[in-house]
Structure 1
Amino acid sequence: MRRTASLSLMLAALAMLSPGASAGDDDYAAMLGYLTSSRLDGNALRGAQGSIAANLAAGDLNSQANLRAFAAGSNAQAQIDARQRLHANRVEAPLEATATIGGHALAGARGLASINQVSGSGNTQLNAVAAALATQGIRETTDGSLSAAVSASAEVQPVTGSGARGEGTRSVAVAAGAMQDFRGVLQLNQTAGAGNATANILTLSVSELPR
């Protein structure tokens, strides 16, 4: 009887150690998975002034660019040509991807701010500004001589991997206190996931009136 009782206890102990015997095993497996997180927090860039550009990336094979072109004169022309391409790369989609702007980031900032923030794999992001300004005192400027243009293209390969079929979670967020009282032009690309292409493009052509 004692041997039978001992054998039963050993079998019970082995059952507890076997895979899938405990719900906590799934949580532990998730902890070992591919997780990505990008966060701009605290007082980062709070009160900054002028030209602000930031690229934040968590993951693999992400492409980001902040481009500006400015021109002034009688024949002002500002142009940007941006091309982003990912080809023949195998991308593993993360199980969980989060991109967050929190705290008081960019609060009270002034000027031109371009932010790319991504969490994941195989994404492309572009912020572009092209501005042309006629010199003060020029009385007449044709549309042909005063121009601003941006051409952009992005190509992303299909995503393959553990998170490509919709498993896991993807989330983006901007806290209430972030960017509060910002003044100026703000461009924000915020992406969580895989195989996404996003862009913000601003073009300006201005001819000043003579004073």
Structure 2
Amino acid sequence: MIGPLMANCYIVWSDSDHTGIMIDPGGWSDTIEKDIQQEQIQIKKILLTHGHYDHIAGLSEAVNYTKAKVYIHEQDAECLSSPGRNISLMLGQSKVFPPANVYLQGKEKIEVNAELTFSVLHTPGHTPGGVCYISNNMMFTGDTLFLGSVGRTDFPGGSYSEIIQSVKQLMEYPEDTVVYPGHGEKTTIHFEKMNNPYVQ
């Protein structure tokens, strides 16, 4: 957990050649750099689940350190240049960030190497361009799905009906899929089916 609102920043890499990706650099610290150096990880891509400030606050530092390409859904692209859209203004700041290199629409395959590929699922509701990244039995849900809950929909562009539909899409994945949310502890699709009131 890192950044102004303690968002989860994830680094996923392949053991074979130590290439990997970073998801949601919501802040930056010496600890991140040390972890990358210790494991000798080559970060090739920075994947953003959405464009809110608490998930991109460390983006400039991440790009400078890794030289990796940045991916974001096209409907959240404006968040990188708009303090109003990225809600940094709500936190008393006015932050802008470098533009993304790749603008997603959903359903893409993002290949890191022969062993590691991520599928992109467009999951609007928290933001218009919210996405989840899925690889093998791992699902990175940003602020779409949390342990026992779902993301807020009262920010600009949010929609309660859309996030409910998005979460229903996620429930179609195998029950042993491990969910890594944007905040809080990990969970599974099975647990959410049984316990999350928003998917009952």
Where on the TM-score scale, by shorter chain, does this alignment land: which range? under 0.3
Normalized per residue, which structure has more helix? 2
Higher relative CO (CA 8 A, sep ≥ 6), structure 1 or 2? 1
With structure 1 as the length reference, what TM-score do the two structures score?
A: 0.21
With structure 2 as the length reference, what TM-score do the two structures score?
A: 0.22
